[in-house]
Amino acid sequence: MPPDRPWQDEAACRTLPIEIFFPPAEQEGEVAKTICSGCTVREPCLQAALAAGERFGIWGGLTTEERRVLVARRRARAAAAMVAAGEAPLAAR
């Protein structure tokens, strides 16, 4: 257990086959997503996956594509907030 992820001790998936969380196709992750929906450490799991840039698997109840959309939305909101504050987002510099 990595010391930087102590929440994994509480993970609902801790004793389950990892294959459940790495389905062969994006649309086949419903079992994993159901397990994640009842997991008490869903949020730290998702944040860790986002921070690590996990490119595969179901983390925090989200698929790779769902995490990509979430990150894009967060970046768009941050850019909009910068524009509203009179600051140019980094991409515009």
d(CA 75, CA 57): 22
Nearer to ligand SF4, 11 or 63 (CB): 11
Q: Which is nearer to ligand SF4, 25 or 91 (CB)?
A: 25
Q: Using the minimum distance from each CB to ligand SF4, give the nearer residue, 61 or 67.
A: 61
SS3 44: helix
Instruction: Let me know if 12 is exposed, middle or buried by CB neighbors in 10 A (0-12, 13-18, 19+).
Output: middle
Q: Per CB under 6 A, does 63 bind ligand SF4?
A: no
Which chain residues interact with ligand SF4 by CB under 6 A?
11-13, 21, 35-36, 39, 41-42, 45, 58-61
